[in-house]
Structure 1
Amino acid sequence: MTETKTIQKTFWQKYSTLMISLVVLVIYGWALTGLTFSGIQESAGEVSSSIFHGLTHPDWAYVYDGSGEDLVSLILQTLAIAFLGTVISAVLSVPFAFWAARGKNEGKLHPRSTTGKFMLVLIRTFPEIVLAIMFIKAVGPGSFAGVLAVSIHSIGMLGKLFSEALENMDHGADEAIYAAGGTATDVLTLATIPTIMPEFLSYTLYRFEIAVRSASILGMVGAGGIGTPLLFAIQTRSWDRVGIILLGIIIMVTAIDWLSGMLRKKLV
């Protein structure tokens, strides 16, 4: 019996990579069978040339004209949507995190933690663009719908990250305070919050990076920000306008990523 197990184990060790590769190839082959290639349009070359020319010759006059609908104004609006949505979600995620986090003596299937994790999964199920469309129907188009979409979706992600931070935190300080006669409130204010706050802030900054990218797209469905003029420019084939908008988004996202990365290094 031992020899049979040894032979089976050796066979798997020898051919596991090959078998996994075959399975992946079969899945890719099955996926490719559902694709249909209808050929390249006759105008593809002309359109591609127009797009490339517009992207390399952006409309610099659109950068700022004082109308409130220029690139700088809408970039600032996009940042405001992302920032406000992230702040709201960071505050609302804290009770969800304590709800979903397991205590050190609780099992994996503890009812409180299980229901909390299920709620966070349910919130994350709805993409931001779907939430934006729903909120546009409820509150009308504009930045407010974008803020609601970003904040609600971010609760699901930040709540999950916050709860994992609570589960993995060092409880040494908690035990010391209890041993000294402290109460649960003392543990929360003197040990738990100071311990997890750097991680909470780091996760919030990371989520803000993602929210900036999301807010740039939500305008395409009418939720405010730079996405609305980008969609109009694409529809009207104003490729020079598309070029300057994309350049502005690239600069904005790069700057936010760099600044957020620097702040996270100082926190963690």
Structure 2
Amino acid sequence: MNKATELIKPPVKKNQWKFAVVFLVLIFLYYIALTTTDLTFRGSSLSPAAIFKRLFWDPFFLADVRAKIPEYAYYMFETLLIAYAGTLIAAVLAIPFGFLAARNMSKISGLGKWILNGIRAFPEIMLAIIFVAAVGMGPYAGVLAVGIHSIGMLGKLYAEVIESIDMKVLEALRSNGANRLQVMWYGVIPQVIPQFSNYAIYRFEVDVRSSTILGVVGAGGIGAPLIIASMQRNWEQVGMMLIIIIVVVTIIDLISGTIRKRIV
């Protein structure tokens, strides 16, 4: 058999040792966590069935809860606007970061990936706390938090799309005398725009879910009244807000899924 066609066997023993070491380390960490964490909790006087009834059944039959539906709908609309504005900012600003992190487009792709990794290291809630302290409470802080975090996620996805483009198209354009700008406009952009749009729409779905909790730290949206009602054990109001969130998120998923299928 030709040596060039021989299959290279993986170092089985070496991989087994690595797996064993990782497995033992995880067992040790789980042991430390389970033996040092206080797992006791204060039980509720209500049964799970009673709480579920108050969350998803009683709100439809209480006039004072139904009267708050327009108010909760306004907070949910504010949440949608926070997610939309943040995603729009990220979808635009992530493009240069994506090209910077793409190996086939940038000579310093390692720096671009490092920047994107650094941005993604901070969750939205932490960024919201920082921006609330910097610019004050309100939706503006939520938009900044969602937008900055989404830049890290979309930039990484954009870079992967750019790295997977057909380079033969670019070579053909260069061989016909196209300059760098023409190569980008006619060779790269048409290949990446559909996937960019697909990822941006999908990211909007994720940001809607993320924006619902930013109000907990004062970044606007439905999160603030939701956490206040839950702290007061007003499960009927909590249930009505959860129902509104579920309905809106489901509708957005259906619409965005249809749009993404047509794009791709």
Report the CA distance shift for 1:187/1:56 in structure 2 as closer, same or farther (over 3 A).
same
The one-letter code sitting in structure 2 at the alignment partner of 1:92 is: L
* TM-score when normalising by structure 2: 0.84
Q: Summarize deviations over 1:51-95 as a string: whole Å, max 9, x none.
A: 3332133434545669x6x12111111111101100011101111
Equivalent residue number for residue 72 of structure 1: 73
CA distance in 1 between partners of 2:22 and 2:137 (Å):
48
Equivalent residue number for residue 6 of structure 2: none
CA distance in 2 between partners of 1:139 and 1:173 (Å):
46
The total of aligned residue pairs comes to: 251
Percent identity of paired positions between Structure 1 and Structure 2: 42
* TM-score when normalising by structure 1: 0.83
CA distance in 2 between partners of 1:202 and 1:259 (Å):
13
Give structure 2 stretches of 5+ with no counterpart: 1-8
Q: Is the 8 A contact 1:146 1:224 kept in 2?
A: yes
Q: Summarize deviations over 1:89-124 as a string: whole Å, max 9, x none.
A: 1101111111111127x7xxx5x1111111111111
Equivalent residue number for residue 135 of structure 2: 139
Instruction: Find out whether 1:213 has 2:209 as its counterpart.
Output: yes
Q: Is the 8 A contact 1:141 1:222 kept in 2?
A: yes
The one-letter code sitting in structure 1 at the alignment partner of 2:39 is: F
The one-letter code sitting in structure 1 at the alignment partner of 2:186 is: L
Give the C-alpha shift of residue 44 in structure 1.
2.1
Counterparts of 1:1-268 in structure 2, within 5 Å, are: 9=12, 23=24, 28-38=30-40, 41=42, 44-46=44-46, 48=48, 51-60=51-60, 61=63, 62=65, 70-103=71-104, 110=107, 112-268=108-264
CA distance in 2 between partners of 1:132 and 1:21 (Å):
35
Give the C-alpha shift of residue 49 in structure 1.
5.8
Report the CA distance shift for 1:140/1:193 in structure 2 as closer, same or farther (over 3 A).
same
Q: Is the 8 A contact 2:59 2:240 kept in 1?
A: yes
Give structure 1 stretches of 5+ with no counterpart: 1-5
Q: Is the 8 A contact 2:56 2:243 kept in 1?
A: no
Specify the SS of the correspondent of 2:183: helix
CA distance in 2 between partners of 1:175 and 1:193 (Å):
15
State the superposition RMSD in angstroms. Answer: 2.8
